[in-house]
């Protein structure tokens, strides 16, 4: 009589399952994957700079205008300094002179809308023209002395 041949085979587990001592595939904890160098353990995957770890252990790229948060498990809008807009890669860039970030997105720089008697400053704020001047019709960043005709007087508000 011939003895049955016994063969050993490692189970074929998913990327986010580890192999127990009993040879059973068991799901890794959320946000982790099987350690290929030690199939009985799970590790947190190493994702790219612009990626986050999903609950199933896969890496996913953040949408435009966002960056991974500190634990790299979610994407968030970056906190940019004042007068900075958010670029598609999630970095920040200072707006050009006389402009401010659009609200609420902060993804582009826009020329602010100032009231008729105000001008736009270099940092994008609305400022009052000095006494006896008004906003230049052709350049909303500049104050000019109005031209009076006949017996007109220039008033302090221009």
DSSP state of 50: T
- Read off the pLDDT of each residue in 120-137 and give the average, rounded to a whole number: 91
pLDDT for residue 2 is more than 70: no
Tell me what the pLDDT averaged over the chain comes to.
90
The pLDDT of residue 149: 79
- Look at residues 144, 146, 140, 98 and name the one whose alpha carbon lies nearest to residue 122: 98
The pLDDT of residue 148: 80
Per-residue pLDDT tens over the stretch 16-61: 999 998 989 999 999 999 999 999 999 999 999 999 999 999 999 9
Backbone angles phi, psi at 23, to 5 degrees: 80, 25
The pLDDT of residue 156: 65
- Domain-wise residue ranges, the chain: 10-76
Beta carbons within 8 Å of 8's beta carbon, 6+ residues apart: none
Per-residue pLDDT band at 119 (split at 50, 70, 90): very high
- Read off the pLDDT of each residue in 68-75 and give the average, rounded to a whole number: 94
DSSP state of 136: -
The pLDDT of residue 3: 56
């Amino acid at each position: 009589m011939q003895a049955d041949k016994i063969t050993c085979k490692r189970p074929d587990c998913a990327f986010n399952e580890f192999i127990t001592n009993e040879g059973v595939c068991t799901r890794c904890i959320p946000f982790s994957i099987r350690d290929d160098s030690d199939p009985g353990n799970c590790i947190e995957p190493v994702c790219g700079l612009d990626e986050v770890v999903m609950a199933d252990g896969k890496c996913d790229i953040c949408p435009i205008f966002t960056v991974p948060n500190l634990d790299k498990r979610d994407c968030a809008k970056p906190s940019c300094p004042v007068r900075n807009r958010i670029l598609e890669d999630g970095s920040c860039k200072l707006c050009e002179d006389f402009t401010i970030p659009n609200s609420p997105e902060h993804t582009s720089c826009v020329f602010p809308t100032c009231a008729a008697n105000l001008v736009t400053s270099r940092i994008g704020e609305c400022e009052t023209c000095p006494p006896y001047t008004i906003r230049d019709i052709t350049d909303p960043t500049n104050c000019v002395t109005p031209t009076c005709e006949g017996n007109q007087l220039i008033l302090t508000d221009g």
